A and B are shown apart, each in its own frame.
Chain A
Amino acid sequence: MDKRFNLSPDGRHPITVLDKVSLVRLPLGEHVQLPTIKKRQRVAGGTLLAQHSSPNVGDMHAPFDGVIKDVTATFIEVEYEALPEPQPPATAEPAEGEAPKAAKAPEKPVEPVSPVSFAGLDAIALGQTLKTLGISIRPFTRPCDLFIINCINPEPGMLYTQELLASYLPVVEAGLAMIQRLNSAPRFVLALPSGSNVTLEGASAYHVPAVYPISLARPLIRAITGNEDTSRVTLVRLHAVFQLGLVAMTGLPLTHTVTTAFGQNFYLPLGTPVSTLLEITGNTPDPGDSVILGGPMRGVAISGLRRGVRKEDDAMAIVKQGSMPDLEDNPCINCGACVAVCPMRLRPNMLSRYAEFHQYEACRKEFIETCIECGMCGYVCPCCRPMQQHFRMAKNHLGLHTFQHVLRQSR
């Protein structure tokens, strides 16, 4: 197997805290911006900017104090600007005030967002509160018999999980404690790469050889439970647990995330543009390269560098032109390489041919809904066929995209 598939790279890759980011672009996606959010408005860090209609998807907040520079249909741009010093009222008590009020400011004063207390909330109220703090709660609240926290780097090239477990273990612990309040699963399991000696109270450790695609939900569930019934098993990524932990520790909205960008780990504000990260890491993509958000096996190529980091983006990378053969619209030669590697035991050769010739019902008979889009078939295909493209097209035609949406939420 390709040594690039090792998901547990040696050495330390310390997480750099980026606190000097001066401009963020928060991609809206399906979020709807609040009508009160206007251009040139002053906001405090953590101010609610946009909401999602689903109770399971977290809302969106300003990552730091600043001014709204732009609001468009696709993103909200915030530029850093320190909040004006609160003017202590003439008759005020000493400046220890929990919520200082700037009475003499010419514009309406902006108050810092205050933390929320989670004490005494039941699971449902807790879920509702967390949603307003930016956490997508669905995977955490899903009823199950076994709850797995996937502590393996999801895709090749990602480096953050071992660093989160080494340097940010208290945050992960806080996240796990919060999950245990949200979910009544009788068993919690940490899926760790073999050789890791991390232990966490409240969850048993399970070691698996960290070779892609074991890091994806279904192969990992098979490795841990020994069977392929996923109906009573929930699996979340460490990335999501870390974000939950950040909120659980502070009581403040989710404003930061961890990303492996161009080979380095960063703790950065949400919405940090890709171009900023390129500058910091000293990378310059050339024309003809691809810049991808996410991992090399399942990520998305972006067309411009203005795009900001979303909550679920845990990696970005440059794919140099010529580092792999170009995708081509070649016919399938039936060599069987994809059938041999498919972790779902599908027949990608037939699936991609059916999709190519619009035989979508035949795709359904070939169990296309089982496909986890791991990318292994495209990786081995000697004809360089766009396998995932075919599968996604077929899934869309069959109306399976909601299913995939659920999958992406829970991965």
Chain B
Amino acid sequence: MTQQESTMTPIVPRFVVDTPPFMHRGYTIASMMRDKIIALVPAAAMAIYMYGIPAARVMALSAGTAVLAEYLWDKILGRKDRLYDLTSLTIGLLFAFLLPAGAPWWLVITGSAFSVILGRQVFGGLGCNPLCPALVGWAAMTVAWPMFMDPMAMTLQTTLVEPLQKIKFFGYASLPEGSELSLFLGQQLGGLGSSQVAAVLLGGLYMCVRKAVRWEIPVAFLASVLLVGGIFWYLAPQIGLNPATTPPPHLYLLTGSTMFAAFFLATDPSSSPVALGGICIYGLLAGSLLVLIRIFGIYLDSAPFAILLASLVTPMCDLVRAAPYGRRK
């Protein structure tokens, strides 16, 4: 029954002595990123359908550059690379989705490398980025080469409309009759993937169901856009705004990259708050900024800037916390 064991014999078999828990949900960073990439597939397919090979070219170039940039950065600094968890690939794809399909190769490469290195690696790599990395690259490129980042200028010979420009300069009534559905299905000029509203929504819902992102963030953000947009729409005549260029709230969701920002950019884990209270503040801030920049700002698609600015107050949002057990007043 019990064999004689001497203290001198080596312990056989060798066990792994780990710390608890010895159960895991089985959902790791790699699974999370895999789900994000799966969620990007519908929008990518729609982009290729709409813009053809140029869209595929931009996405491939951006994703490849992002992975290479992370690899080289880790190599130069002598760090162990973490390419296996697919985070840099995701950043590259997210950045590509914000670009026009006709973006020149050097812009894609520069922006993608900027996203990974300046957006994340300089802060210490995974989990240390204070802002969404893809947005850092996007902001740098938008400020440096606004011409090449403009979908209007980069997409020639198209029948697609640029709804944001129409709304801002010609009033929302200038949009064709019944254009909501075509906008929803992505019939608009914009970032190659970020303007595919329906496909992005589909992917976003998938991520929420798989818990790759916290569903509270897109809900808080989109609800805030509707709320603040609705207030401005309702009050436009009273506060001296041109009612024609102040669109009804649902148009905020259907135009530009609002939907993409809600599900893919605002939910970047390390630059968004963790608890529900903080998420509500963050969503309200980002939603209000989006509406304000669209109405008063010079940038047409304000969603990326709104997220970027809201991410800056994430540490403050994280101060809002529930009292721990037994400390509720």
**Stretch of A26-34, A93-101, A196-204, A344-352 lying at the B interface:** A344-352
Q: Which of A228, A273, A276, A302 has the most CB of B within 10 A?
A: A228
Which one of A21, A23, A325 lies within 8 Å of B26 (CB-CB)? A325
Asked if B22 is at the interface of the complex by the 8 Å CB criterion, the answer is: yes
The answer on a CB contact under 8 Å between A330 and B22 is: no
What A residues does B326 contact at CB under 8 A?
A: 218, 228-230, 370
- State the Cβ distance, A69 to closest chain B Cβ, in Å: 11
- State the Cβ distance, B218 to closest chain A Cβ, in Å: 14
- State the Cβ distance, B12 to closest chain A Cβ, in Å: 8
The answer on a CB contact under 8 Å between A331 and B124 is: yes
Closest to A332 in B: B127
What B residues does A275 contact at CB under 8 A?
A: 2-3
Alpha-carbon distance A21/B324, docked complex (angstroms): 47
User: 7 closest pairs, A vs B, by CB?
Assistant: A336-B274, A375-B21, A333-B127, A324-B24, A287-B13, A331-B127, A335-B269
The answer on a CB contact under 8 Å between B1 and A334 is: no
What A residues does B327 contact at CB under 8 A?
A: 228, 367, 370
What B residues does A306 contact at CB under 8 A?
A: 5
How many A residues face the partner with a CB closer than 8 A?
A: 71
Closest to B14 in A: A287
- State the Cβ distance, A304 to closest chain B Cβ, in Å: 5
What B residues does A218 contact at CB under 8 A?
A: 325-326
**Stretch of A38-46, A139-147, A246-254, A381-389 lying at the B interface:** A381-389
**Stretch of B27-35, B46-54, B197-205, B250-258 lying at the A interface:** B27-35
- State the Cβ distance, B171 to closest chain A Cβ, in Å: 41
Q: Which of A4, A222, A301, A346 has the most CB of B within 10 A?
A: A301
The answer on a CB contact under 8 Å between A333 and B269 is: yes
The answer on a CB contact under 8 Å between B29 and A382 is: yes
- Given the known inter-chain contacts A331-B126, A382-B29, please indicate yes or no for A297 contacting B1, CB distance below 8 A: no
What B residues does A339 contact at CB under 8 A?
A: 274-275
The answer on a CB contact under 8 Å between B1 and A23 is: yes
Closest to A342 in B: B324
**Quick one: which of B147-184 are within 8 Å of A by CB?**
none
**Stretch of A102-110, A114-122, A167-175, A288-296 lying at the B interface:** A288-296
- Given the known inter-chain contacts A23-B2, A298-B20, A389-B19, please indicate yes or no for A222 contacting B27, CB distance below 8 A: no
- State the Cβ distance, A62 to closest chain B Cβ, in Å: 17
Interface string of B256-285 (1 = CB under 8 A from A): 000000000000011011110000000000
Which one of A156, A286, A345 lies within 8 Å of B23 (CB-CB)? A156
Alpha-carbon distance A150/B2, docked complex (angstroms): 35
Alpha-carbon distance A345/B272, docked complex (angstroms): 19
- State the Cβ distance, B15 to closest chain A Cβ, in Å: 6
**Quick one: which of A1-60 are within 8 Å of B by CB?**
2, 4, 20-23
Q: What are 8 A-B contacts with C-beta separation under 8 Å?
A: A4-B23, A285-B15, A292-B20, A301-B18, A327-B19, A330-B29, A334-B127, A389-B19
Asked if B11 is at the interface of the complex by the 8 Å CB criterion, the answer is: yes
- State the Cβ distance, A40 to closest chain B Cβ, in Å: 16
The answer on a CB contact under 8 Å between A384 and B325 is: no
- State the Cβ distance, B101 to closest chain A Cβ, in Å: 31
- State the Cβ distance, B69 to closest chain A Cβ, in Å: 19
The answer on a CB contact under 8 Å between A297 and B2 is: no
Closest to B85 in A: A330
**Quick one: which of A351-381 are within 8 Å of B by CB?**
367, 370, 373, 375-376, 378-380
Which one of B22, B29, B324 lies within 8 Å of A344 (CB-CB)? B324
- State the Cβ distance, A319 to closest chain B Cβ, in Å: 4
**Quick one: which of A60-90 are within 8 Å of B by CB?**
none
Which one of A22, A285, A296, A337 lies within 8 Å of B21 (CB-CB)? A296
Alpha-carbon distance A383/B29, docked complex (angstroms): 6
The answer on a CB contact under 8 Å between B126 and A333 is: yes
Asked if A209 is at the interface of the complex by the 8 Å CB criterion, the answer is: no
**Quick one: which of A242-287 are within 8 Å of B by CB?**
273, 275-276, 279, 285-287
The answer on a CB contact under 8 Å between A382 and B28 is: yes
The answer on a CB contact under 8 Å between A288 and B269 is: no
- Given the known inter-chain contacts A292-B22, A333-B126, A382-B27, please indicate yes or no for A276 contacting B1, CB distance below 8 A: yes
The answer on a CB contact under 8 Å between A379 and B23 is: yes
Alpha-carbon distance A99/B274, docked complex (angstroms): 69
Asked if B323 is at the interface of the complex by the 8 Å CB criterion, the answer is: yes
Interface string of B227-249 (1 = CB under 8 A from A): 00000000000000000000000
The answer on a CB contact under 8 Å between B20 and A378 is: yes
The answer on a CB contact under 8 Å between B324 and A301 is: no
The answer on a CB contact under 8 Å between A297 and B22 is: yes
- State the Cβ distance, A44 to closest chain B Cβ, in Å: 21
Closest to A383 in B: B29
- State the Cβ distance, B114 to closest chain A Cβ, in Å: 21
What A residues does B328 contact at CB under 8 A?
A: 228
Alpha-carbon distance A319/B20, docked complex (angstroms): 11
What A residues does B27 contact at CB under 8 A?
A: 380, 382
Asked if A300 is at the interface of the complex by the 8 Å CB criterion, the answer is: yes
Asked if A112 is at the interface of the complex by the 8 Å CB criterion, the answer is: no
What A residues does B274 contact at CB under 8 A?
A: 334-336, 339, 347, 349
Given contacts A296-B23, A301-B19, A346-B325, 16 further A-B contacts (CB under 8 A): A228-B327, A228-B328, A229-B326, A279-B1, A287-B13, A287-B14, A289-B13, A289-B16, A292-B20, A296-B21, A299-B20, A331-B128, A344-B325, A347-B275, A383-B29, A386-B19
